[in-house]
């Protein structure tokens, strides 16, 4: 049984101008100790999907579908179980560490707060564990950092602190939502390598949210590609790159810089804009931007199909699939 199983997830926001269909019919699973990447442009529904699992959506959100964690119904947890579920069984690393950290509290206080609440550790034991955590995420002189405020640390160090906070109660599943936003390229790589190494060392499952297929290529076991709040393609990582099917996935791959490109080669941006999620989809959401669009794409939502290649679990939602590597 998978550690996390999401089936037919739909999230609709009620607004003054009518409903917004942020997520529709999203399904995926995460095995224990495995890593899955959820990839797509801004507005594709990635963050809303994981925030629904973390109970972080506003009251205007209506959630349908099911999500089970180790047999537990995530959307219907008893209050006593919910209190020690988020941050213990499942933890999350958010996009911007400066909005995740309290600017007027020292790092040590913020690191130990969750451990003292969930694990009932004494102040001394929690402080000792906080030093271990900062050392685990490779922050030098961890005892000194506990006495500092967030503004005294670099962006990369702040992100490492946020990761340490997420790991404080030994979660079995870590969700990282665009964890390298606003960091420079070299720091981005360090943070991603750190997450991947921690996942392996701690035997922890990882859900990595990103807009960049290149980020997840060597760091995940499976990939889910989202667009317009829907899953366009999903497959084991190696198979997705060897047998790319959906035109949107092809377009994302074409926009990734490649060191083998001749000097002066221009990247291939995706023309057009993402769909208006306030309009209920009645056809393929990518059709207006797709270079392989047909009349059938504009008349109905494409059914999810399984790729007939002998590969396990490669699905796509397209009536005009494009087989082959970019």
At 309 the pLDDT is: 58
Query: Are 160 and 194 in a shared domain?
Result: no
In the chain, the number of structural domains is: 2
pLDDT (0 to 100) of residue 180? 85
Other beta carbons within 10 Å of 10? 17
> Are 85 and 195 members of one domain?
yes
pLDDT at 61: 97
Tens digits of residue pLDDT in 10-60: 999 999 999 999 999 999 999 999 999 999 999 999 999 999 999 999 999
Residues with Cβ within 8 Å of residue 256, at least 6 apart in sequence: 212, 213, 214, 267
**Whole-number pLDDT of residue 63:** 97
Q: Which domain holds residue 195?
A: 32-56+77-89+171-259+268-281+292-326
The pTM (predicted TM-score) of the whole model is 0.93
- 179: in domain: yes
Is 129 found in the same domain as 272? no
Query: Are 216 and 300 in a shared domain?
Result: yes
pLDDT along the chain (326 residues), means of 10: 94 96 97 97 95 96 97 94 94 88 96 94 96 96 96 93 95 94 83 94 96 91 97 95 93 81 79 92 94 92 83 86 69
The answer to whether residue 227 is domain-embedded is yes
Domain stop point among 170, 195, 212: 170
CB 174 within 8 A of CB 199: yes
Q: Does 219 lie in the same domain as 109?
A: no
Please give the pLDDT value at position 317.
96
Same domain, 201 and 300: yes
Residue 286 counted as domain residue: no
> Measuring CA to CA, which residue among 182, 180, 110, 117 is closest to residue 145?
110
Q: What is the pLDDT of residue 268?
A: 80
Beta strands, E only, the chain? 4-15, 18-30, 35-39, 61-69, 72-73, 90-93, 173-177, 205-210, 222-227, 230-236, 304-306, 315-317
Parallel, antiparallel, or unpaired for β 222-227 and 35-39?
parallel
Residues 313 and 212 in one domain: yes
180 shares a domain with 45: yes
Q: How many other CB atoms are found less than 10 A from the CB of residue 180?
A: 22
Residues 111 and 246 in one domain: no
Identify whether residues 232 and 180 lie together within a single domain. yes
Evaluate whether 229 touches 43 at the Cβ level (below 8 Å).
no
From 124, 143, 170, give the residue that closes a domain: 170
CATH code at 227?
Answer: 3.40.50.300
| pLDDT given at position 98 | 81
Note whether 39 and 252 are within 8 A (CB): yes
Indicate if 227 and 131 belong to the same structural domain: no
| 244 in the same domain as 150 | no
In a domain, residue 159? The reply is yes
User: Who's near 280: CB < 8 A, 6+ residues apart?
Assistant: 19, 21
Q: What are phi and psi of 74, to 5 degrees?
A: -60, -35
Instruction: Confirm whether 1 is domain-assigned.
Output: no
Burial annotation 240-277 (CB, 10 A radius, 16+ → b, else e): bbebbbbbbbbbbbebeeeeeeeeeeeeeebeeebbeb
- pLDDT tens, position by position, 140-150: 999 999 999 99
What is the spatial distance between Cα 257 and Cα 265, in angstroms, rounded to a whole number? 9
Query: Is the CB of residue 193 less than 8 Å from the CB of residue 185?
Result: no
């Amino acid at each position: 049984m998978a550690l996390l199983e999401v089936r037919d997830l739909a999230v609709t926001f009620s607004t003054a101008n009518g409903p917004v269909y942020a997520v529709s019919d999203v399904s995926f699973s995460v095995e224990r100790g495995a890593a899955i990447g959820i990839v797509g442009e801004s507005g594709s529904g990635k963050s809303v999907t994981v925030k629904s699992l973390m109970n972080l959506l506003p009251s205007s959100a209506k959630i349908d579908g099911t999500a089970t964690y180790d047999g537990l119904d995530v959307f219907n947890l008893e209050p006593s179980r919910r209190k020690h579920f988020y941050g213990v069984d499942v933890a999350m690393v958010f996009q911007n560490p400066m909005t995740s950290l309290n600017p007027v509290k020292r790092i040590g206080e913020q690191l130990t707060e969750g451990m003292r609440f969930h694990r009932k550790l004494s102040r001394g034991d929690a402080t000792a564990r906080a030093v271990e955590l900062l050392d685990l995420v490779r922050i030098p002189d961890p005892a000194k950092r506990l006495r500092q405020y967030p503004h005294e640390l670099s962006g990369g160090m702040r992100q490492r602190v946020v990761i340490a906070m997420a790991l404080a109660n030994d979660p079995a599943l870590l969700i990282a939502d665009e964890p390298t936003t606003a960091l420079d390229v070299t720091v981005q790589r360090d943070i991603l390598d750190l997450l991947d190494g921690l996942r392996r060392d701690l035997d922890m499952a990882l859900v990595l949210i990103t807009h960049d297929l290149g980020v997840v290529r060597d760091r995940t076991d499976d990939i889910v590609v989202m667009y317009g709040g829907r899953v366009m393609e999903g497959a084991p990582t190696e198979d997705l790159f060897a047998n790319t099917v959906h035109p949107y996935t092809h377009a994302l791959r074409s926009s990734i810089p490649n060191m083998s490109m001749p000097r002066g080669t221009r990247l291939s941006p995706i023309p057009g804009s993402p769909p208006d999620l306030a309009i209920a989809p009645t056809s393929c959401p990518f059709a207006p931007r797709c270079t392989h669009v047909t009349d059938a794409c504009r008349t109905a939502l494409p059914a999810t199909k399984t790729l007939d290649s002998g590969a396990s679990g490669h699905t796509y939602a397209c009536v005009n699939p494009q087989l082959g590597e970019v």
